[in-house]
Amino acid sequence: MIVKNCRANEYFKDAKVGEAMNAIDRVYFCKYKNEAYLDLPSSLDFGATISAPHMHAYALQILFADRESDRGVKKFLDVGSGSDYLCAAALAMMDYQGTVVGIEHIEELANWSKQNLETVFGPEYEKYIKIICADGRLGEHREAPFDAIHVGAASPKIPEKLLEQLAPNGRMMVPVDEGEHIQHIVLCVKDEKGNTTFTKLLGVRYVPLTSREKQLSGKH
């Protein structure tokens, strides 16, 4: 029902997005199981959240646009991967091929998310999904470049390290906090020559993209 409503409200048009979301049961990635099938963000531990399903649908639609063209997505990076639902859905979008990297700077969340992935995919998930406990603002240069990058928390500006790790013809979407409680998703598209265009999309409300210490202290 949630996926059907997301499509009816035009958060996605590509049928593959619906198939991927239906293939990955959100209940395994929510702390509060009674909230798994609500189209709302749900709290995790340590001040983190799992985004509402419509935002995951929107992200998959944007980042996998033209997926059947030469652009293709073979490497996907999720910054602030939390419980790792989006990593799992991205792998489904990639037909369980390629590489998905999730970065989470809270070790307890990273370890829990690995348990979630093993529950859904079995231990073989490690062939396709790599979960790294590190500062997501710095990306993961050892796996770069990435064809698609999703940032799951609001940054005061476009993270330069992540932009550097975006592949030619790649796409990155990041919530940018403009102050005064105003945030927008910004789509960054890099062409084959390395030139990047920036497009402001819909208004959102995300938790801050910050350091591990500030997140744990609650002082953003």
Known catalytic residues?
Answer: 51
* Distance between CA atoms of residues 40 and 199, nearest Å: 25
Of 24, 48, 45, 46, nearest in space to 36 by CA: 24
* Number of residues assigned to the chain: 220
Apex 158 CA angle, 117 and 114, nearest 5: 10
DSSP secondary structure, the chain, as one string: -HHHHHHHTTS---HHHHHHHHHS-GGGG-SSGGGTTSSS-EE-STT-EEPPHHHHHHHHHHHTTTTTSSS--SEEEEES-TT-HHHHHHHHHTTT-SEEEEE-S-HHHHHHHHHHHHHHH-GGGGGTEEEE-S-GGG--TTT--EEEEEE-SBBSS--HHHHHTEEEEEEEEEEEEEETTEEEEEEEEE-TTS-EEEEEEEE----B---HHHHHHT--
